[in-house]
A and B are shown apart, each in its own frame.
Chain A
């Protein structure tokens, strides 16, 4: 059961990425788009394009009916959801299958199971994966939960079971604040996600974010090693790399094997990521959640393993079993990805949509630029600010950093402010050079180094003038 025509239910750089993978596999492509995206790059390179509605995502990219109609009208037999939008919506995955088409990703049931954070935690524990000390599933009795919070030690994180993207989280510093915040978090979760379920987890100070890429075919699962994504701003990753230099080989083997075990335990199908917090001081790691989709940072794994993860997920969706055994998945060198957003780092990362008035793309050995840009393209204000990702590969981390500096110096995107100067400044930071970072490192650093970035932007502007 191969796929003949794939509809891409997304936009931006990931849509471009998926179309390229499909075309490389000899699969025809249909790109859906909103009124605001009629001239986006993905529309230009796809075989066909269908307008599915107004600029507002709720009326286009999140409109299941419009997407299914576009698929039927064009004779598509599969739908790739990319990341964001409907990618982790179990009901959408089910609706695609009910309409007689293939959803490129896990089953609706798996998405629902892993999307419920408390259930995913319980599943991880069942598969033998360590979880952050906290409640067993959703809290029902607030007094009992307060007792448990005291037992595991403050600060404690109160999280919405149905939450995501860093939303619906409260931190309680003591029992008194816990009693106040837990009911608040529950009613907020109810309002935002239609589900008031909350659970609690111990806050791990100075943790690193380590995540493992997995591939499963519904029967077996393998891992494709780990990525480190500790540099984050407002819980959003800005810089990702593979492998993590924070792990020793034994820990790497254990953490990666645990991710494959978890994927196998739920009969996982497709590409997915198991996320962990890693405590440098104790050497312990803890499961936090699973993302049941392709992720923004998948290219760093592709660079070190030589795999095409998007092509693999399309093949699996088409009915092929895993083509690689665990022992076949090697890794070479070091890769770093930085996210280029249309934001002005010298003005509080203010969004900066506009028209691309110049474009010089870095090339050369070990450099890859996954993006949605072309000369004259106007970036619309209606969606997220990700323009593209600059990915480099080198023999060592130092070589990759040098290559990133070189590639950033070659890159020119005229007409927009981007986050490129942030990465130039980060490359000069000793903590980044030595990889002495954690998930709460970047924000305080930005508070004290904002001026450096502004100066870099000034110099850049002077050079351009």
Chain B
């Protein structure tokens, strides 16, 4: 019991703040990345409910442009996480779509489990899976196409920009690994 509450105290200090150049490169990368994803979505897709998926890519931008070293930010996780979560979300909707809260929970929890198993853990994948369930008719109508577009396409766009911008920064490199 004491141990249980003792764990809640924490045990270490927070990591250091990054310096200003890191902040600027994070801003630049995510600005360009989200611009590209936004342009593709707003001009090519031009459907209101598809815009939801952008929320998911906003989260990816934090990782891919803000924490470039993290295992969670690597191409395998970025692409794999979105694609696997999208497929899991669509499947969860097909199975349990009649009970929205259950389908939503099933989508997210299964996406996390499968990302773990496949070593593609990418936090925004949780959002991608959830949006497959709660994203409305136009997303439901896509069926499994949702996996490739918008999910796969958006992730790929972010990856291309990450490869270009992160490697322009003198003290950054990306990726740490591909597979």
Asked if A and B bind, the verdict is no
